[in-house]
């Protein structure tokens, strides 16, 4: 397995709410800072990626958001337009507006068509080597297999025809672990961990895409060493608390309450992380991103997470 | 817990028959739905059903949810007794099974057995039902309609599927209805040969043929010709389901945490519900830090604690009481005091978002971060207690 940032195409997925978009932006930011021409693409058009880089909107046409880093938002209609122009050489680009909307509806109904238009555009950028690295803020874990496996699904479903003809070269990119990898983002909580373990299994058994890494996000810092933890517990007992209340004031109990809450959440998170590591195949590394206690948002957060990734990724 | 209005979630659940719980992924939606149901059954009484989508395994086991889809089972009274609560009503739980839901729909609407089997055996059927018009969402709404119409329950609480976009759920019945009336379906289902000669569809056909290939188009068309035989039934049902969403007896509960992305989604969802005249009854703010942490007096206590840690005599005395070494006590106190700043940063962020979300719905229920995850009935009932409000009315 090659190093994460040496690949050419990384899909970033994860259960909703775990920080998938932030992580994708941070991976792209880190690669760009290392001098790689990088494209980051948001697949679900929710606009979250635009706020990461503090631009108003992202479009299909990539926008240079910082040196070496371009950002775009996937749009299947534009992808179709580009496909028709570049590959199928159909000369009706000017008139395609309403046509594409109708097509959109067929694509909705016909299995895999939208997915392949999206994935096709991504693979095209990789094949043409317009960038050193393409980072995809991909579908959430529930839909990611349908997305990355679209070319194979189409190949099985469609006996013959132009769509099928396009799948071969896409599969050669997607199935090449030197070039392509899937990154799964999770948080150390029950449902995200369970989903991650299931997803990694499913991706490995049903698709040809290599699982490159799992990122555990928002890992709470460990407040105490084990010995200190015991001391902390004893300090929480009534007698020391009475002494502390005398010296500090009654509100000291709230301060200790916050510490206890953080410690118990941390202890649970540690168990889930252990379960994650045990359950994943040995060749899938787990990287941790600590909880960032910051009021920052946007570029600042991207850069803070990228700093954390830098220590994890050689 | 202080509330922004005199109504509580308990009042809302007493007044309504259907509750749609929505919000972005990772907010604890499923657990909140189950907790509301458990508490409602226990204290409000009546027969309550929670229809859940994808519960954490331990929670599912605790509720007696097996792998069996679409059939409701009752949580036994003894389980409540063991959790230290007497249940006035009945708690029923069921899990949403999209595949079974679709098969049921086909069985119901197919005009005859031959067509039914043809649809169920069609290779495109699984693929298409898995994707088009957001079939998960449609099935969820369909099930809600069914369960309510059965008259078996006083209250049905439905946990919604993880949508790419929460609006898909609200729009699913409408899209289903429109799909059958669409030009696309008409075009796809006219006989293949005459389709070639329809002038209006010529450029479209050219594109579709170049991209998809005529063979694939033909397969799709064949499937939709089968599907069209069920039009009347599907359209009628979708209309009924759509009507249910704006019904007086229905209410929406939006669940959010106070993190940036879920909070943004929750506000957006609240606006969209209003626009669609779908009644947002309550906003649940889940996993919040205790509001008291932001009081200046508490911050001052943390600063003072740091000073105490530097006071060798005070540390020695504490060490004696806590039977620990003074150096360790000092380190622990420093850690507790310093880390408190991290907690207040988060609490500050939360307070701002909380203020924004509190005005969105008639009822706001605030649930504190719990020291451990919920995976049994006792935990659900405790969480439900926070939700339904033991606090001020």
The ipTM estimated for the assembled molecules is: 0.77
**What is the distance in angstroms between the Cα of A52 and the nearest Cα belonging to chain B?**
11
User: By the CB < 8 Å criterion, does A282 face chain B?
Assistant: no
In Å, how far are A13, A24, A37, A41, A136 from A213, measured between CA atoms? Answer: 11, 13, 21, 19, 14
Set of chain B residues whose Cβ sits within 8 Å of the Cβ of A44: 164-165
By the 8 A CB rule, do B24 and B256 touch?
A: yes
Q: Does A53 touch chain B (CB under 8 A)?
A: no
For A144, the closest chain B residue by CA position comes to B164
Tell me the per-residue pLDDT of B274-307, one tens digit each, with 9 for 90 and over: 998 999 999 999 999 887 888 889 989 999 999 9
**Within the 66-105 window of chain A, which residues sit less than 8 Å (CB to CB) from chain B?**
80, 83-84, 88, 90, 92, 95-96, 99, 102-103, 105
Q: Are A137 and A46 in contact (CB under 8 A)?
A: no
**Which residue, B275, B227, B206, B282, is CA-closest to B250?**
B282
- Which residues of chain A, if any, have pLDDT below 50? 1-2, 93
Q: Does the pLDDT value for residue B217 go beyond 90?
A: no
Say if residues A10 and A181 touch (Cβ distance below 8 Å). Answer: yes
Nearest to B346 among A108, A230, A293 (CB): A293
Alpha-carbon separation of residue B163 from A52, B86, B159, B195, B268 (angstroms) = 22, 36, 12, 35, 14
Top-confidence residue, B137 or A261: A261
CB of A271 within 8 Å of any CB in chain B? no
When mean pLDDT is compared across A203-212, A247-256, B16-25, B196-205, the lowest value belongs to B196-205
- What does the pLDDT read at residue B184? 63
Q: Do A83 and B211 touch (CB under 8 A)?
A: yes
Which residue, A185, A138, A139, A132, is CA-closest to A308?
A185
Query: Which chain A residues touch B336 with a CB distance below 8 Å?
Result: 223, 232, 255-256, 259
> Using an 8 Å Cβ cutoff, are A110 and A150 in contact?
no
By C-alpha distance, which of B186, B117, B295 is closest to A251? B295
The span from the CA of B373 to the CA of B366, in Å, is 17
**DSSP-assigned beta bridge partners for residue B283:** B254, B364
Size of interface A-B (CB pairs under 8 A): 228
State the average pLDDT over residues B158-180: 73
Contacts of A140 in chain B (CB under 8 A): 25, 162, 164
For residue A251, give the DSSP letter: T
d(CA A46, CA B165): 8
Residues in A touching B328 (Cβ below 8 Å): 227-228, 231
Instruction: Tell me whether residue A67 is exposed, middle or buried, using C-beta atoms within 10 angstroms of its C-beta: 0 to 12, 13 to 18, 19 or more.
Output: exposed
> Do the strands A63-66 and A69-73 form a parallel or antiparallel pair, or are they unpaired?
antiparallel
pLDDT in tens, B347-371: 888 888 899 999 999 999 999 888 7
CB contact under 8 A, A90 and B212: no
Q: Which residue of B has its CA nearest to A153?
A: B127
CATH of domain B9-182+243-292+353-388: 3.40.50.300
E strand spans, chain B: 18-22, 47-52, 73-75, 90-95, 155-159, 250-256, 280-288, 363-368
Of A41-45, B11-15, B219-223, B306-310, the least confident: B219-223
Compute CA B59 distance to the chain's CA centroid, rounded to the nearest angstrom. 15
**CB of A80 closer than 8 Å to CB of A100:** yes
- Chain B residue numbers with beta carbons less than 8 Å from the beta carbon of A109 are 128, 132, 179, 184, 220, 224
Contact between B164 and B146 under an 8 Å Cβ cutoff? The reply is no
Residues in B closer than 8 angstroms to A262, CB to CB, are 339, 343
What is d(CA B323, CA B320) in angstroms, rounded to the nearest whole number? 5
Give B96 to chain A, closest Cα distance, Å: 15
Q: Which fold would CATH assign to domain A4-220+272-312?
A: Rossmann fold (3.40.50)
Which tokens sit at B78?
């003894």
């Amino acid at each position: 397995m090659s190093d994460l940032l040496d690949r050419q195409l990384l899909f970033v997925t994860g259960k909703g709410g775990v920080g998938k978009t932030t992580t994708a932006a941070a991976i792209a930011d880190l690669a760009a800072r290392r001098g790689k021409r990088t494209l980051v693409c948001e697949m679900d058009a929710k606009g979250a990626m635009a706020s990461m880089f503090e631009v108003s909107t992202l479009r299909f046409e990539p926008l240079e958001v910082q040196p070496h880093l371009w950002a775009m938002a996937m749009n299947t209609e534009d992808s179709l337009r580009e496909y028709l122009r570049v590959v199928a050489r159909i000369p009706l680009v000017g008139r395609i507006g309403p046509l594409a909307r109708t097509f959109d509806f067929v694509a909705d109904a016909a299995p895999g068509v939208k997915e392949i238009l999206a994935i096709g555009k991504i693979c095209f950028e990789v094949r043409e080597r317009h960038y050193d690295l393409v980072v995809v803020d991909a579908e959430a874990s529930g839909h990611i297999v349908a997305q990355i496996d679209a070319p194979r699904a189409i190949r099985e479903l469609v006996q013959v025809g132009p769509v099928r003809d396009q799948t071969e070269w896409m599969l050669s990119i997607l199935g090449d672990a030197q070039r392509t990898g899937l990154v799964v983002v999770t948080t150390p909580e029950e449902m995200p961990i369970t989903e991650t373990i299931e997803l990694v299994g499913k991706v490995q058994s049903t698709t040809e895409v290599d699982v490159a890494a799992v990122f555990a996000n928002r890992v709470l810092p460990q407040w105490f060493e084990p010995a200190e933890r015991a001391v902390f517990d004893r300090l929480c007992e009534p007698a020391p608390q009475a002494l502390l209340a005398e010296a500090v004031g009654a509100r000291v109990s709230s301060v200790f309450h916050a510490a206890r809450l953080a410690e118990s959440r941390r202890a649970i998170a540690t168990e889930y992380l252990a379960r994650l590591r045990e359950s994943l195949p040995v060749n899938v590394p787990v990287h941790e991103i600590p909880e960032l206690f910051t009021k920052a948002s946007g570029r600042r957060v991207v850069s803070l997470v990228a700093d954390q990734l830098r220590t994890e990724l050689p | 817990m202080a509330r922004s209005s005199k109504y509580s979630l308990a009042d809302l659940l007493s007044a309504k028959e259907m509750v749609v719980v929505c919000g972005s992924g990772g907010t604890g939606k499923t657990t909140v739905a189950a907790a509301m149901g458990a508490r409602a059954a226990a204290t409000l009484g009546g027969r309550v059903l929670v229809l859940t989508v994808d519960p954490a395994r331990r929670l599912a086991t605790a509720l007696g949810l097996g792998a069996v889809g679409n059939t409701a089972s009752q949580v036994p009274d003894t389980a409540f007794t063991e959790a230290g609560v007497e249940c006035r009503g009945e708690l029923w739980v069921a899990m949403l099974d999209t595949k079974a839901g679709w098969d049921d729909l086909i069985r119901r609407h197919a005009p005859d057995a031959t067509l039914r089997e043809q649809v169920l055996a069609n290779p495109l059927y699984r693929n298409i039902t898995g994707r088009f018009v957001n079939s998960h969402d449609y099935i969820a709404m369909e099930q809600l309609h069914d369960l309510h119409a059965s008259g078996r329950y006083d209250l049905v609480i439905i946990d919604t599927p993880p949508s790419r976009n929460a609006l898909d759920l609200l729009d699913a019945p409408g899209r289903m209805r429109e799909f059958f009336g669409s030009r696309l379906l008409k075009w796809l289902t006219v006989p293949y040969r005459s389709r070639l000669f329809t002038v209006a569809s010529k450029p479209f056909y050219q594109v579709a043929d170049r991209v998809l290939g005529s063979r694939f188009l033909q397969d799709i068309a064949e499937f939709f010709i089968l599907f069209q035989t069920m039009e009347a039934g599907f359209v009628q049902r979708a209309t009924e389901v759509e009507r249910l969403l704006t019904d007086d007896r229905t209410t929406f509960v939006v669940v959010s945490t106070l993190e940036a992305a879920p909070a943004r989604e929750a506000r957006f969802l609240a606006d969209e519900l209003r626009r669609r005249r779908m009644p947002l009854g309550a906003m649940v703010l889940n996993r919040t830090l205790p509001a008291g942490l932001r009081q200046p007096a508490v911050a001052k206590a943390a600063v003072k604690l740091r000073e105490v840690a530097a006071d060798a005599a005070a540390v020695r005395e504490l060490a004696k009481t806590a039977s620990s070494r003074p150096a360790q006590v000092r380190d622990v106190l420093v850690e507790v005091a310093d880390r408190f700043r991290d907690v207040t940063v988060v609490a500050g962020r939360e307070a701002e978002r909380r203020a924004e979300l509190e005005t969105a719905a008639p009822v706001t229920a605030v649930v504190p971060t719990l020291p451990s995850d919920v995976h049994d009935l006792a935990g659900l009932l405790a969480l439900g207690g926070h939700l339904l409000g033991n606090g001020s009315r």
